[in-house]
Structure 1
Amino acid sequence: MAIDEHPGPTDALETCASVALQDNPWWQLDLRNIYRVTAVSILSSGDCCSEQLNGAEVRIGLSKDVTNQRCAIIFVSEGEQKYILPMWNNGRTLQNVALRGLAFHSSSSLENSVASKVIDGNQSSTCSVAIEQPGPWVTVDLLVPYSVTAVQLAYSSNCCFSYDVRVDDTSCEVISSNAYSLMTLDCGGIVGRYVTVIHHGVATPLCEVEVYSTLENLQNRFPQLPPPHVKDYCSDVSCGRDYILIPDEPKTWFEAQSYCREKYTDLATINDVQDMYRVMEKMENYSKKDFWIGLYEDVATWRWSLSGYYGASEAEFRNWGAGEPNLERATQDCAGIQHTGEWRDLQCDLLNFFLCFDGRTGALKSKILVETAMNWADAHSYCRKHHTDLLSVRNQAENQEVQSMVPEGKLAWIGLFQDSWKWSDGSYSSFRYLSQEQPLLGEGPNCAHVSDRKWNARSCDTKSMFLCYTFKKKTFVRISADFDMSDPAVQQQIVIQLEAKMRDMGITDFKINWKMSGQQKQP
């Protein structure tokens, strides 16, 4: 009766709720979904008892018991009946990060059962079915690791379920509810990238998987690999990053970010020179215009230029010398190791020896000292061109190994540098495309934009064109014939026939690239 829309007692009907005399009485409302609660209004009985509400606690959270976070303590003034909680916001607003991810399930070949339907934001009308036995599953790839607070599953009908929901390899705790078509699981801040729903039995159509996080995602220190049970995954080899320029709807950086996340994947992340060349191609008709990319300024942190080389705790290893890092000058933001094993922070444009790491396929995972003095940026480029990257030092044992490689009285650059710039999609790339290697400068809050084919910074509140990115699947077709495949006329005929076949299949948004392999007349 406390949620029946009647504001209070009437002549004919008492619409107030009460409980028997007891210690610590409580009343609870199940909203049957996860919401950001901004206000709660409480109305007491008009003829008595308002003061009995004084001192009661209002708690909001994911748990069905009474241990959720306290948001307010009720105090009803004398003669008043109504109490309105002030705005409640503890600074950790939950957001459904599944909307920006990718979805896969165990029945990808099943007609009209598209896995992406479970992350389209629609809880009721778009559902997906995974029927393969045993243990049909659905996986949402969040693309980067998040601290997952809760997972909510929306099904097409009420049922009794036997399922397991995991963030990476850790199971979440089921929260009991009376809404059997809507299941909520408390994941307690498990950090992970893949959210998998495994059904132990016949699976009812799953309409939505919502993954709630505070969006305080960790720096992505992990290699971007698909879940091991997902075969049809858009990997670096089979999937291309496609850039989409939005020239006709100028927006602030944050507005552009929201637009790209809703329509595509995110604001553009640019990982290397090849990516930048592709961006320039997109800008061919807008060479004199500027546009936002996904780089923004955040709190300055020390981080390694190489990702995926170390475990979660190893990335935090430091061996600073006494008084280091000494950040008295803004340009002191690159790290080097002395022959004593102690680290120093230095101006990045100083010339020093440097240490590379070679982790390429077929290489011996070796550490290389280059005894040619370069600044940090040039050393970084050299290591990436000839090996893998500048060296990351992961623990004390490795630090002792590395210090023995540094000549006495010398210092060598390692891959640690201080950077305040982050990518919108949470991915990691230390690549910058600046005019004469100048730092990104602006009057904060700063966001990066491309102007005259170089990156610059300015206030994020400026309205501009912007560049989004998404992923497109690649299909490789191997063709062999007895005639001369290097003949341009033959190649043109093959491309024409492939294009016609694609259009017959209803595919119109595609691009065909031709590549010869082997000797002439070979496929």
Structure 2
Amino acid sequence: MSALSYPTELIICPSVEVEVYGEAITPECKPEPNAINLATQGIAEQSSHYARKGEPNLAIDGKRNGTYNEGSCSHTEIDYPAWWRVNLKATYSISTVVIYNRQDCCDHRLMGAEIRVGDSPDVSTHIKCGTIEGTYPGSIHTICCHGLKGQFVSVVIPDQSQYLTLCEVEVYGEAVIPECKPALNAINIAKQGTADQSSYYSYLGSPSHAIDGNRNGIFGKGSCTHTQKDTPSWWRVNLKATYAVSAVVVYNREDCCDNILMGAEIRVGDLRDVSKQVK
């Protein structure tokens, strides 16, 4: 039976329990329920500062208050062009940008503003994903960026001298993960495991030191493992469950002997015998 994609009313006889399963249908260009506003983790800048109350970070403070004097809107001088941008600190595939206009006055100033995305701080190099074409006091503008990728999202008023005031900017999308780089906020599952190794050099080189969360590369500081000269030398961690392993990050020692790790193989398997694990 095909999935129903329109509101449906279920009429059934009295029952002890009814369970309904499916996936939400998200209207085009509307942030999904519980989507994370990426802008709040960023750093905002703008072409100029009108006053202390109009600092650029006020447009990403999580407050949608549209009254400028209540201190939650950004504000530039009359610039040509006036611009505001947020550095998201990583590259994202941007799906939606939501702009909240001021509601006390001057809503028309946002007319013609362009929402842009790019990987450079230079807003003139950003790619336009939408334009604000109509305003009213307190207007909310949802702009579809259709997966444009960039670290910066900007709002620019082109081809005229104008103030730029933004009472909130929300940015939604997904992190662009470079090949074999752990996802943002990924959990290091090694820390929940149990470590072993082929032999013990000394108590300072305990196998558990490689999963203690301490990346200190000085052996004498007690956060590195160390075996004897074994054939082969090996270290392993038991994750206590089966995982689809996407990335393994290994930190070498920094005080000496970094060449010892040359040629080391990273292997994964369901058997304790490291010789039977897959490289």
Write 1 or 2 for the structure with the bigger share of strand: 1
Relative contact order: is structure 1 or structure 2 higher (C-alpha 8 Å, sep ≥ 6)? Answer: 2
When Rg is computed on C-alpha atoms for both structures, the one with the higher figure is 1
